[in-house]
Amino acid sequence: MKLELRGITKRFGTLVANDHIDLVVEPGEIHALLGENGAGKSTLMNVLYGFYDPDEGEILVDDQPVEFAGPGDAMAAGIGMVHQHFMLVPVFTVAENVVLGYEPTKSAGLIDLPEARRRVKEISDRFGFDVDPDAMVEDLPVGAQQRVEIIKALSRDAKVLILDEPTAVLTPQETDELIAIMRQLKAAGTSIVFITHKLREVRAVADRITVIRRGKVVGSADPQSAETELASLMVGRSVSLGVDRAPAQPGEVALQVRDLSVLDDAGVRQVDAISFDVARGEIVAIAGVQGNGQTELTEVILGLQPALAGSVRLDGKELLGRSVKQVLTAGVGFVPEDRTEDGIVAEFSVAENLILDLYDTPAFAKGISLDPAKVRANAEQRTVEFDVRTPSIEAPAGTLSGGNQQKVVLAREMSRPLRLLIASQPTRGLDVGSIEFVHKRIVAERDSGTPVIIVSTELDEVLDLADRIVVMYRGRIVGTVPGGTDRDVLGLMMAGVPQEEAVKQAASHHTVLGEADIVAEKESE
Amino acid sequence: MSAVTAPAPAAPARPAAQPLPPISYKGPIAYVVIALLALIAFGIVPASGKKTGFTVSTATDFFQIDRFDVPSKSTAIVLCLIALALGGLSAWYARNRRKAGVWLPAVYAVALVLALLVWAVAGKSSPLPLTGLLQGALFLAVPLVFGSLAGVLCERSGIINIAIEGQLLAGAFLAAVVATLTQSAYLGLLAAPIAGALVSALLVAFAVKYVVDQIIVGVVLNVLVVGVTSYLFSTVLKVNASTLNTPPRLPTLPIPVLSEIPVLGPVLFRQTALVYIMYVVVIVLQILLFRSKWGLRLRAVGEHPKAADTVGIKVNRTRIRNTLLGGAVAGLGGAFFTVANGLAFNKEMTAGKGYIALAAMILGRWSPKGALAAALLFGFADSLQQAFGIIGTSIPSQLMLMLPYLVTIFAVAGLVGKVRAPASEGIAYVK
Amino acid sequence: MNAAPDVPAADAKDERLEPRLQGALREMLTSNWLVTVAALLLALVVSAVLIAAADEDVHTTAGYLFARPADFLSAVWDSVWGAYVALFQGAIVDPTAATFTKAIRPLTETMTWSVPLILAGLGLSVGFRAGLFNIGAQGQIILGAIFGGYIGFAFGLPPVLHLLLAIIAAALGGAIWAGIAGFLKARTGANEVIVTIMLNNIAVYLVAYLLTLTAFKRPGSNNPQSPAIEGTAVYPQLLGDGFRLHAGFLLAILATVFVWWLMDRSTLGFQFRAVGANPSAARTAGININRIYLLVMLTSGALAGLAGSAQVLGTEKVLTAGVAASFGFDAITVALLGRSKPLGTFLAGLLFGALRAGGFAMQARTGTPIDIVLVVQSLVVLFIAAPPLVRAVFRLPSPGRRKQVSPTPAPVTKEAAA
């Protein structure tokens, strides 16, 4: 099935998310849509999928114009989508999620469960997924949930499959498996549109690449193009790939984690007797696939969750058992994983957000009374220092872009002397400019002597920033490796393979992305 | 395929000798303490020598069971000891990390309630009519059942419906007026859902179209309905009472054979059409909500509207339809106050039942059968309070009247476990 | 809040500058004040339909509507106009009154009625801004009246001290009652809407029960009422014995200022607002959510308790079962109309006090039942809550950015709210 988008324009208020975009996807082609966060890729795909109505332009299927009133029409036309943030109802089973909207029914509208299960099994077996149709989705690990998403899209005979940032939650080895599935589908005649902001993947997978920047198509490329060329197309200026940083000069050990264990509500150990150290002036990255205990680890250190056992000592003082406020006052800076949910208060002004955990300090309050002048002065200073773009310091923080919101969070945490900085997924969803800024500031914090912990599922970021890498899998530490470790080794460790074994395996078999790394290194020499 | 990515649902196998989470004895302690208090209050303190009378039969049963009397003090002591034993049993369960079935708290509650009854009616000349008590419980629970079902429908699809009180009141009003105008209780019954749906229409208009906070809309709608119905009552209805506000009563329709079984018969099968409709609605909703296409889509919209939208389900349309349906169900429940009893409409006659229905919905974990059970519980508390009033116990009437509300607070405070609302309820869906 | 696409940071300077006057006019037309006034007008119009519908003359003339439509129209007009004139005369000034004092009496009545509305409304507004739906004002007023009243009639104390103690006791009573709900919410996550409503009902029965006890009964009276409040414990009259206005009004003003300071200038209020706007972010920033829930309810209840003191120590001067009247629910509408801001709540309290004062006069003079006031109140709140609706009806322009032609559209980050 040939799919064409002509002149698609989509506006949200005054913002033009898609600006007269043309795109052609030939049958049986893997077509990559490359662009940084915020470029408009997801919006375009949501238009294609019928989720949004385009303001201008048309969609053609096999050279015939079509109009989609909603996702139902798009699915009926053979377009399936696997979303970046899974569209799965957590309290439903796999089968219920897969058939939602397309349910097989018996009399009186009752759902034919055996038939639903059969549908799941059929596709699952075809690709070797091994998914239980009656499992509750919220109990499944992230990788399995993605497979359910894929099954859902395929169960409606998709002829074009759109994958939105599918590798965000996968290890390099899992990415290899996904690539194998994509090639299987391609061989069967399904076209694939692959949305990503990761250069490495794109060159390894795509037949053709379309680059989008700020809502417009800025160029078409083939996989042979150099990485730097693709990067400048994507961002619009020359980009230095990787962070400039001086080698770390770690001082004495500041944070000592010993035998830390955390239980969740179901009594499962999300963190299982882990121990590690962080020294002053070094960046330790906690790497691992989402859902292996990293979130719980950071929350326990902050005091949001109680620990089952173990100790966390910062400069000799025990942090466990203290309230969040006490931990923050002890000099811990915390950049949460989900900035809109946990990082900022959208209704509060930028100025108020900048003192969200400082409102009762002498700098801003006399006893119980706030000093608005001091709050304003602080906001003016910090927004300049951290390059926060906002119409005014009184503007609600919810109106800022993601990158600026993250800068507000950073500004707040870094505006006091820190004994430890914890940053969880610090650049998730940010555009390249903001990513560069955030990385620079983190490195600067490290260079000023602060121990830094980064939690990231983005291997690129881990490889860029980390002085040492701690790999977590199922709540345990698989190994601790130095910063420049090979991507494939890391990937295997993220899947639970112990370090020595991982090194052996990686040496003998490179993944697609690992290969891409090697090629990129050669190119930059 | 690869062992690396094998999905592993639920807990990974734990190696042996790892510390397990600490056991919580809060539940068993509560059971034991309350049973002890009951033992002292109902069993030990009262004087001996008194008897409590119970009757269970009604005139038309298959066979008659005579009134029986029990020695008050000893019976109460025995019942409290049973409760105490169950408390101990629950401690044993907790220690062995096993879950006791629903039977344990149920039997416990029955034992303590019986002890309360025995104590309260000790030495009185008139017996406590157990069957009458149960009949009253079911009867008084009717508006609560309809109200909580309405709540389930609305909240499961994502709309918080605080306006149940207003929907009940509107249904009562319209049922009374239409029934009087047509001199047919059944036509009044038919009109009641329309009033409830009208109130629901206002709820969705403001909640969905204008994205106003749903709790606020609900509370204000209740005030509005009280205002409008009270106003119309004080003006139009008062002046034309005979033509507009003297509804006929719904006749009782005993089901042959079934209604003659002792105890259960009169309670379940000697009721009005409204109650029989209630049975049907509960069963139908329970099945459809969890096993049908309509139910799956409804629940998806309430849990994860975006996911539903991406498969082509119209989120707001589903919410609107189901809230209107919920309003209709609540309106039907409102007919209870006027037409089911043959009573004229009066100002604010629902007296807060709508809010208790909300509590029943929460207690019933947003499922029709749970809501039914919870509503019956509240109905029983209400019926108990009335029975005590008739018999004349030593407990002051005002304190008895507080009983249903206290029970509600205990229920909602999660003393019966943690509850989990539909994930997206109260959050308007805006693309 | 679902994630709408982020709006880019606007350019600092506006491309086009409108003439000053046009700008000011536009400001006025889009302001919230105008919407409030428009909502009130709309509510009065809709209520007028009800007034007309219940009027006898309207019914009779409707019978021959097509023969003599003028009769019908004039009957409608008479009924509505008559009712609203009586409302105005009962609430603001009565030009037909004999003396000057009688003429301004309505205004003082409005102020007197507004005192408990303002106090309880302030309490509820604190709760709303912290994300807690405290529907329990009625119960908290009753408990405040019980505590304050008891101090007021059961003890003999020197003048100023007696009143002060009674006021503090009233605040304490309301605080405790609301605190129960706050405690349960903090400890068990219990839904405060239901708990506070249940506590309302319990409070009603509680006061009825207490009035049967000898400690609370007035000797020699068959009606359930407490002994009269001692003269040393009543709010002094502000305008002498001819009027009902008492010093509670001053307390209301003080309370408004206090709530403004609390919510907008104090660290505690900062925490209240943060918890109301985003509890997860507040938690991550070190705020103790459960402690805040409890403190919010205590504050909210204390203010409602003060409203109870205004009733029992100011207007009624005795504790009866009906001491809270309908102030509990009215206070909710006051807080909503005032958009939970202190000044707005104060003004809204005055407005609804006017409606109540006028409503009684309207009922006395034209026979329109006072229930119509409830209708007006709830309609106003509904319309206020839906500005687009009011704007659509009156064809007012909507506020917000004029179309900006930004030279470089900033990158958009679409945070998908899964």
The answer to whether A227 touches A220, Cβ cutoff 8 Å, is: no
CA A185/CA B344 separation, integer angstroms? 70
The pLDDT of residue B312 is: 87
Percent of chain C with pLDDT over 70: 88
Tell me which residue has tokens 């890391």: A490
Q: Name the minimum distance, in Å, from the CA of C355 to any CA of chain B.
A: 14
Across the interface, whether the CB atoms of B206 and C193 are under 8 A apart is answered no
In this structure, which amino acid lies at residue A257?
V
Q: How many domains does chain C have?
A: 1
What is the helix (H) or strand (E) element at residue C57, kind and residue range?
helix C56-63
Question: Per the domain annotation, does C78 fall within a domain?
Answer: no
Give Cα C312 to chain centroid, integer Å. Answer: 19
Q: How many domains does chain B have?
A: 2
Across the interface, whether the CB atoms of C375 and B224 are under 8 A apart is answered yes
The answer to whether C337 touches C384, Cβ cutoff 8 Å, is: yes
CATH of the domain at B169: 1.10.3470
Give the residues across from B54 on adjacent strands.
B68, B128
Could you tell me the pLDDT band of residue A525, with boundaries at 50, 70 and 90? low
Give Cα A90 to chain centroid, integer Å. Answer: 19
Mean pLDDT for the stretch of residues B10-35: 63
User: Each residue of C6-26: b (16+ CB within 10 Å) or e?
Assistant: bbbbbeeeeeeeeeeeeeeee
Question: Per the domain annotation, does C36 fall within a domain?
Answer: no
Q: Is C325 on the interface with B (CB under 8 A)?
A: no
Question: Per the domain annotation, does B108 fall within a domain?
Answer: yes
Mean pLDDT for the stretch of residues C334-361: 91
Both B164 and B285 in one domain: the answer is: yes
The pLDDT of residue B226 is: 93
The answer to whether A116 touches A159, Cβ cutoff 8 Å, is: no
- What is the chain B residue with the closest CA to C389? B210
CA C185/CA C293 separation, integer angstroms? 7
Mean pLDDT for the stretch of residues A181-198: 88
Could you tell me the pLDDT band of residue C256, with boundaries at 50, 70 and 90? very high
CA C362/CA C90 separation, integer angstroms? 7
Residue B70 or residue B237, greater confidence: B237
CA B192/CA B250 separation, integer angstroms? 14
Q: Is C389 on the interface with B (CB under 8 A)?
A: yes
The pLDDT of residue C322 is: 85
- Is it the case that residue B1 has pLDDT exceeding 80? no
Can you list the alpha helix ranges (DSSP code H) found in C92-136? 100-129
Q: Who's near A452: CB < 8 A, 6+ residues apart?
A: A278, A282, A283, A284, A420, A421, A422, A423, A442, A445, A446
- Is it the case that residue B279 has pLDDT exceeding 70? yes
- Is it the case that residue B304 has pLDDT exceeding 90? yes
Residues 177-196, chain C: which have Cβ within 8 Å of B?
184, 187-191, 193-195
User: Each residue of A92-103: b (16+ CB within 10 Å) or e?
Assistant: bbbbbbbbbbbb
Q: Name the minimum distance, in Å, from the CA of B365 to any CA of chain A.
A: 14
The pLDDT of residue C274 is: 96
In this structure, which amino acid lies at residue A426?
P
How many residues does the structure list for chain B?
A: 431
The pLDDT of residue B317 is: 94
Could you tell me the pLDDT band of residue C191, with boundaries at 50, 70 and 90? confident
Mean pLDDT for the stretch of residues C331-356: 91
The range of the structural domain enclosing residue C207 comes to 116-352
Q: Is B393 on the interface with C (CB under 8 A)?
A: no
The two structure tokens encoding residue A294: 């990293």
Both B196 and B66 in one domain: the answer is: no
Across the interface, whether the CB atoms of A14 and C404 are under 8 A apart is answered yes
Mean pLDDT for the stretch of residues B225-249: 88
Please state which of the ranges A265-279, A375-389, B182-196 shows the lowest mean pLDDT.
A265-279
Could you tell me the pLDDT band of residue B196, with boundaries at 50, 70 and 90? very high
Mean pLDDT score of chain B: 84
Q: What angle do CA A153, A9, C405 make, to 5 degrees?
A: 140
The pLDDT of residue B235 is: 87
Please state which of the ranges B41-50, B69-78, C251-260 shows the lowest mean pLDDT.
B41-50
Across the interface, whether the CB atoms of A100 and B6 are under 8 A apart is answered no
Question: Per the domain annotation, does C302 fall within a domain?
Answer: yes
Across the interface, whether the CB atoms of A177 and B423 are under 8 A apart is answered no
Q: Who's near A299: CB < 8 A, 6+ residues apart?
A: A305
What is the helix (H) or strand (E) element at residue A476, kind and residue range?
strand A476-482
CA A317/CA B409 separation, integer angstroms? 43
Residue C389 or residue C129, greater confidence: C129
φ, ψ for residue B153, nearest 5 deg = -60, -45
Both B269 and B174 in one domain: the answer is: yes
Three-class DSSP category at C133 = coil
φ, ψ for residue B128, nearest 5 deg = -90, 120
Residue B229 or residue B53, greater confidence: B229
Q: Is C7 on the interface with A (CB under 8 A)?
A: yes
Mean pLDDT for the stretch of residues C52-76: 79
CA B374/CA B144 separation, integer angstroms? 9
Q: Is C46 on the interface with B (CB under 8 A)?
A: no
CA C348/CA C343 separation, integer angstroms? 8
The range of the structural domain enclosing residue B67 comes to 26-125
The answer to whether A462 touches A243, Cβ cutoff 8 Å, is: no
Q: Is B13 on the interface with A (CB under 8 A)?
A: no
Question: Per the domain annotation, does C12 fall within a domain?
Answer: no
Could you tell me the pLDDT band of residue B19, with boundaries at 50, 70 and 90? low
- Give the burial class of B113: count Cβ atoms within 10 A of its Cβ; 0-12 exposed, 13-18 middle, 19 or more buried: middle
The pLDDT of residue C18 is: 47
Across the interface, whether the CB atoms of C411 and A38 are under 8 A apart is answered yes
Q: Is C6 on the interface with A (CB under 8 A)?
A: yes
- Is it the case that residue A126 has pLDDT exceeding 50? yes
Q: Is B313 on the interface with A (CB under 8 A)?
A: yes
- Is it the case that residue A314 has pLDDT exceeding 90? yes
Highest mean pLDDT among A388-397, B414-423, C33-42: A388-397
Q: Is B190 on the interface with C (CB under 8 A)?
A: no
Mean pLDDT score of chain C: 83
Question: Per the domain annotation, does C284 fall within a domain?
Answer: yes
Both B207 and B338 in one domain: the answer is: yes
- Give the burial class of C161: count Cβ atoms within 10 A of its Cβ; 0-12 exposed, 13-18 middle, 19 or more buried: exposed
Please state which of the ranges A22-36, A156-170, A468-482, C232-246 shows the lowest mean pLDDT.
C232-246
Percent of chain C with pLDDT over 90: 37
Preferred mutation among B1, B5, B313, B427 to probe A, highest tally of A CBs within 10 A: B5
- Tell me chain C's radius of gyration from C-alpha atoms: 25
In this structure, which amino acid lies at residue C177?
W
Provide DSSP, C69-81: HHHHHHHHHHHHH
- Give the burial class of A376: count Cβ atoms within 10 A of its Cβ; 0-12 exposed, 13-18 middle, 19 or more buried: middle
Which chain A residues contact residue C288 at CB under 8 A?
323, 325
Give the residues across from A110 on adjacent strands.
B292
φ, ψ for residue B131, nearest 5 deg = -65, -40
The pLDDT of residue C25 is: 66
Nearest to A509 by CA among A524, A484, A491: A491
The pLDDT of residue B26 is: 72
Question: Per the domain annotation, does B384 fall within a domain?
Answer: no
The closest CB to that of A89, out of B11, B19, B300, belongs to: B300
- Is it the case that residue B123 has pLDDT exceeding 80? no
Please state which of the ranges A336-345, B161-170, B405-414, C111-120 shows the lowest mean pLDDT.
B405-414
Give the residues across from B53 on adjacent strands.
B69
Percent of chain A with pLDDT over 90: 46
CB atoms within 10 A of CB A416: 14
Q: Who's near A109: CB < 8 A, 6+ residues apart?
A: B288, B292, B293, B294
- Is it the case that residue A300 has pLDDT exceeding 90? yes
The pLDDT of residue B14 is: 41
Both B175 and B57 in one domain: the answer is: no
- Is it the case that residue B65 has pLDDT exceeding 80? no
φ, ψ for residue A301, nearest 5 deg = -65, -40
CA A450/CA A297 separation, integer angstroms? 19
Question: Per the domain annotation, does B426 fall within a domain?
Answer: no
Pair type for strands A309-314 and A253-263: antiparallel
Question: Per the domain annotation, does B283 fall within a domain?
Answer: yes
Can you list the alpha helix ranges (DSSP code H) found in A94-141? 94-99, 113-127
Question: Per the domain annotation, does B188 fall within a domain?
Answer: yes
Question: Per the domain annotation, does B391 fall within a domain?
Answer: no
> What percent of the residues of chain A are helix, what percent strand, and what percent coil, each to the nearest 5?
40, 25, 35
Question: Per the domain annotation, does C286 fall within a domain?
Answer: yes
Question: Per the domain annotation, does B381 fall within a domain?
Answer: no
CA B327/CA A38 separation, integer angstroms? 43
Give the residues across from A479 on adjacent strands.
A471
The pLDDT of residue C125 is: 95
DSSP state of C31: S
Which chain C residues contact residue B423 at CB under 8 A?
none
ipTM of the complex, rounded to two decimals = 0.85
Question: Per the domain annotation, does C219 fall within a domain?
Answer: yes
The pLDDT of residue C263 is: 95
Q: Is B396 on the interface with C (CB under 8 A)?
A: yes
Q: Is A156 on the interface with B (CB under 8 A)?
A: no
- Is it the case that residue C404 has pLDDT exceeding 70? no
The answer to whether B323 touches B159, Cβ cutoff 8 Å, is: yes
| CA-based torsion, A85, A87, A91, A93: positive or negative | negative
The two structure tokens encoding residue A485: 């470790």
Both B320 and B202 in one domain: the answer is: yes
How many residues does the structure list for chain A?
A: 525
Which chain C residues contact residue A348 at CB under 8 A?
273-274, 277
Could you tell me the pLDDT band of residue B385, with boundaries at 50, 70 and 90? confident
Across the interface, whether the CB atoms of C375 and B406 are under 8 A apart is answered no
Nearest to B81 by CA among B101, B108, B105, B100: B108
Nearest to A50 by CA among A31, A25, A71: A71
Both B286 and B340 in one domain: the answer is: yes
Question: Per the domain annotation, does C6 fall within a domain?
Answer: no
The pLDDT of residue B22 is: 67
The two structure tokens encoding residue A329: 């006052």
For the whole model, what pTM was predicted?
0.85
| CA-based torsion, B394, B395, B400, B403: positive or negative | negative
Q: Is A370 left (phi over 0), alpha (psi -120 to 50) or beta?
A: beta
In this structure, which amino acid lies at residue A103?
E
Both B263 and B304 in one domain: the answer is: yes
- Give the burial class of C354: count Cβ atoms within 10 A of its Cβ; 0-12 exposed, 13-18 middle, 19 or more buried: buried
Tell me how far CA of residue C384 lies from CA of A238, C35, C338, in angstroms.
Answer: 53, 7, 10
Three-class DSSP category at A258 = strand
